[in-house]
Amino acid sequence: MISPRSEAGPPPVPEGPFSWIRKLAEATSPRPPLVEVLHEILNRVRTLFHADTATILLPTEDGTHLVPRASAGVPEAVHQAIPIPVGRGFSGRIATERTALVLNHVDSSTVANPLLWEKGLRNLIGVPLLSADALFGILHLGSGQPGRYTYRDTRPLQIIADDIAVLLQNHRSHNESVAATVLQHALVDRQLPRISGMEFSARYVSAQSTGIGGDWYDVFPLPSGAVCFVVGDVAERGYAATMLMSKSREALRVYALDHADPAVLLNKLDRYIRYCDSSAMITIACGILDPSLKCLHLSVAGHPKPVFTKPGSDAHLADVPVDLPIGVGLTTQKRHSVMIEIPYGTTAVFYTDGLIDRPHKSTEESMRLLYENVRSGSPESVCGRIMSQLIGSESVDDDIALLAVHRQNFQNPSTMDFELDAVPESLTNLRVTLRRWLPTVGASEDDIGDLLVAVGEAAANTIEHAYGPTGGVLHVLLEAHSDEIRATISDTGAWRSPRGEHGGRGTELMHRLCDVVRVDSGTDGTTVVLHKQLSNPTE
Amino acid sequence: MTEVEIDFRPEGDTLGIVLCGEIDLSNSESVRNEIFAAISNDLTLVHLDLAELHRIDSAGMRLLFALAERLQLLRVAYLVTAPPGSRPRHMLERTGFDTLVQIRD
């Protein structure tokens, strides 16, 4: 049937070299919501069978109940969404027995949904919606006329039901695939955090033929200044894989807030995953980099070992025992973690097996290519080289997640220049950066303690007083001179007068801990300059 | 669906299982069902031979781990043959399976 285009619809496709794009776009335009389609079907079925009501019930996710989801004649059934236990009542029996039923006696003894007998229905006919032996729902018709339907009517109704089942099946697989793809990319394709002294780059490629496979990578800084890296692989596909992936990803983030040992994180995850899904298997490599960035704690659960390149040495696999994957083995096993030193210039590459199990290459060949291409330098170029050498133009039949981590060479030790959001959470980041940088310019533990407080107070003042609720930026410049550290903390806001009982104490502290404290306040913002003599200068 | 042949070779209270072909997500469920159905509780040893298996993915490994758990529960010994350097052997080592079950060359 061709319906005339409404005036508000899209303009006709102009014929031209690119009109095929518009045609493709229209052909794949969003489907109408399922409920609307079912409603349209039910209206027609009701007319066709001279029924007073026509209703479709769909199973809940766990298959234990049926819920009315579309109805012509009993809309309140849909609005109230009364769950019918499978096995009980009229629809529940059709679901268990998977055959058509005709009912000539409609009351509380035969029908679980009170709305049906309250409606005055005297006769019900129902059929299962079956496709490929799976139950996708129940279709039933009701009439106020006793004896309206007999078992002879089940045949034509079942033919309609079979088509509806196919529609439901297609709809579900389409929806699951869309949901999996959207969720996977929302969780994985994110900007990696910026952490001074470190550089990251990553790739995620989903399998072309078999759909999303549940591989993921994750990098997140912790309040302590530590940085956690995760690369994992769920042995599943599609929606189920994505759900497990997102659970695991979030659980590890939560555990990492309280534990600094990746073996503990993986043990906790193992217990959690066993609790929610007894058949799951997930492989993971999890690393936690110390706040100093000098060493990485690594634990591996049935996952390919990461490859490291340190300055002056060839690429090699991390020397780490491989514990069992998450979710397998009769009980939770003891897990191991190792500590790996990360000198300046080290590059580490975490990946999933889709990268090295290539159809046209042996594992040895893939590993050789991987070693050759993990070189020190920008992680972006490392990822680029690895993907081009190992994958090239071949199709991808298994998901690939790849994460390259690089500790930058120490370039300019005498100054640090960075910006932070003027929010309280940035104070942690500021302290971590100071803790990393000050020892490299000759500050003693006492100096570090004093400067952490003084610079922290200056920054806290800015965060508290400089900006309105929309916030702003805090600019920090640290300079090391032969015997003195200079810190400049500036903003572009307008300071208001101090409030609260702690007002003024910060400035007092700065004066006590530093040799020079200068505050320049103007219309363009405020700059606080702090100078502190080092107690034991190196030069 | 990916092709795999399963050959059961019972010998007294030992069951040899030879897998030939490939195992991945598309056939791992049916392979699992077939193998589990063939294992009776009077066995003392199950010997899984992967020498003719060309490829096994993580879903296939999940099946081998599940079999290990089941046999451990039944107190049936479990032995796996996989030639060094083969893809299945790499997979067994990479997933830590060799820490759970004895692997033969």
Which residue, among A288, A328, A320, A281, has the nearest Cα to A304 in the 3D structure?
A320
Contact A398 B57 (CB under 8 A): yes
Contact A325 B61 (CB under 8 A): yes
Contact A281 B61 (CB under 8 A): yes
- Which of B66, B87, B96 has the CB atom closest to A324's CB atom? B96
Contacts of A301 in chain B (CB under 8 A): 96
Q: How distant is the Cα of A329 from the closest Cα of chain B, in angstroms? A: 6
- The pLDDT assigned to A472 comes to 87
Cα(A151)–Cα(A60) distance, integer angstroms? 28
- The pLDDT assigned to A14 comes to 60
Contact A324 B25 (CB under 8 A): no
- The pLDDT assigned to A418 comes to 84
- The pLDDT assigned to A461 comes to 87
Coil, helix or strand for A378?
Answer: coil
Collect all residues with Cβ–Cβ distance below 8 Å to A343 and sequence separation of at least 6: A294, A310, A311, A407
**Which residue does chain B place closest to A334, by CA atoms?**
B99
Measured CA to CA in angstroms, residue A208 lies from A150, A190, A399, A472, B56 at distances of 50, 21, 8, 43, 19
- The pLDDT assigned to A337 comes to 97
- The pLDDT assigned to A3 comes to 47
Q: How distant is the Cα of A330 from the closest Cα of chain B, in angstroms? A: 6
Contacts of B95 in chain A (CB under 8 A): 283, 302-303, 322, 324-325
Collect all residues with Cβ–Cβ distance below 8 Å to A447 and sequence separation of at least 6: A438, A485, A532, A534, A535
- The pLDDT assigned to A202 comes to 95
B13 has a chain A CB within 8 A of its CB: no
DSSP A325: P
Collect all residues with Cβ–Cβ distance below 8 Å to A492 and sequence separation of at least 6: A466, A472, A473, A524, A525
| Cβ density class A401-434: b for 16+ within 10 Å, e for less | bbbbbbbeeeeeeeebeeebebeeebbebbbbbb
**Which residue does chain B place closest to A367, by CA atoms?**
B90
Locate A224 and state its tokens: 């302590």
B99 has a chain A CB within 8 A of its CB: yes
| Cβ density class B70-85: b for 16+ within 10 Å, e for less | bbbeeebebebbbeee
Q: How distant is the Cα of B72 from the closest Cα of chain A, in angstroms? A: 8
Cα(A362)–Cα(A357) distance, integer angstroms? 7
Give yes or no for a contact between A66 and A92, defined as CB atoms under 8 angstroms apart. yes
Which residue, among A445, A403, A418, has the nearest Cα to A534 in the 3D structure?
A445
Contact B96 A210 (CB under 8 A): no
For A98-208, where are the alpha helices, taking DSSP H only? 114-118, 154-188
Which residue, among A263, A252, A255, A345, has the nearest Cα to A297 in the 3D structure?
A263
- The pLDDT assigned to A272 comes to 95
Percent above pLDDT 90 for chain B:
80
A355 phi/psi in degrees, rounded to 5: -75, -35
Digit-coded pLDDT (tens) for B51-81: 999 989 888 999 999 999 999 999 999 999 9
Contacts of A331 in chain B (CB under 8 A): none
Give yes or no for a contact between A179 and A242, defined as CB atoms under 8 angstroms apart. yes
- The pLDDT assigned to A194 comes to 83
Q: How distant is the Cα of B49 from the closest Cα of chain A, in angstroms? A: 20
**Which residue does chain B place closest to A322, by CA atoms?**
B96
**Which residue does chain B place closest to A331, by CA atoms?**
B69
Digit-coded pLDDT (tens) for A95-104: 999 999 999 9
Q: How distant is the Cα of A226 from the closest Cα of chain B, in angstroms? A: 27
Locate A152 and state its tokens: 């002879």
CB atoms within 10 A of CB B41: 7
Locate A364 and state its tokens: 């040895």
Digit-coded pLDDT (tens) for A492-514: 887 666 555 555 678 888 999 99
**Which residue does chain B place closest to A302, by CA atoms?**
B95
B84 has a chain A CB within 8 A of its CB: no
| Burial class, A532, CB count within 10 angstroms (exposed 0-12 / middle 13-18 / buried 19+) | buried
- The pLDDT assigned to A273 comes to 94
DSSP A391: I
Report angle CA A104, A106, A112 to the nearest 5 degrees.
130
- The pLDDT assigned to A488 comes to 95
Give yes or no for a contact between A347 and A405, defined as CB atoms under 8 angstroms apart. yes
To test the contact with chain A by mutation, choose from B23, B54, B58, B64 the residue with the greatest count of A C-beta atoms within 10 A, namely: B58
For chain A, list residues whose CB is within 8 angstroms of any CB belonging to chain B. 210, 233, 235-237, 279, 281, 283, 300-304, 322-325, 328-330, 353, 357, 362-364, 398
A109 phi/psi in degrees, rounded to 5: -80, -20
- The pLDDT assigned to A1 comes to 43
For A203-284, where are the alpha helices, taking DSSP H only? 238-256, 262-276
Question: Which residues are bridge partners to A477 per DSSP?
Answer: A417, A488
Cα(A10)–Cα(A26) distance, integer angstroms? 10
> What is the pTM assigned to this prediction?
0.79
Digit-coded pLDDT (tens) for A270-293: 999 999 887 899 999 999 999 888
Question: Which of 23-62 (B) contact A at CB < 8 A?
Answer: 25, 55, 57-59, 61-62
Q: β-strands A134-143, A53-59: how paired? A: antiparallel
For chain A, residues with pLDDT lower than 70 are: 1-14, 29, 210, 411-413, 495-504, 537-539
Contacts of B90 in chain A (CB under 8 A): 363
Contact B95 A302 (CB under 8 A): yes
Contact B66 A236 (CB under 8 A): no
- Which of B58, B87, B99 has the CB atom closest to A283's CB atom? B58
Collect all residues with Cβ–Cβ distance below 8 Å to A353 and sequence separation of at least 6: A233, A283, A304, A398, B57, B58, B91, B94
Which residue, among A300, A294, A295, has the nearest Cα to A317 in the 3D structure?
A300
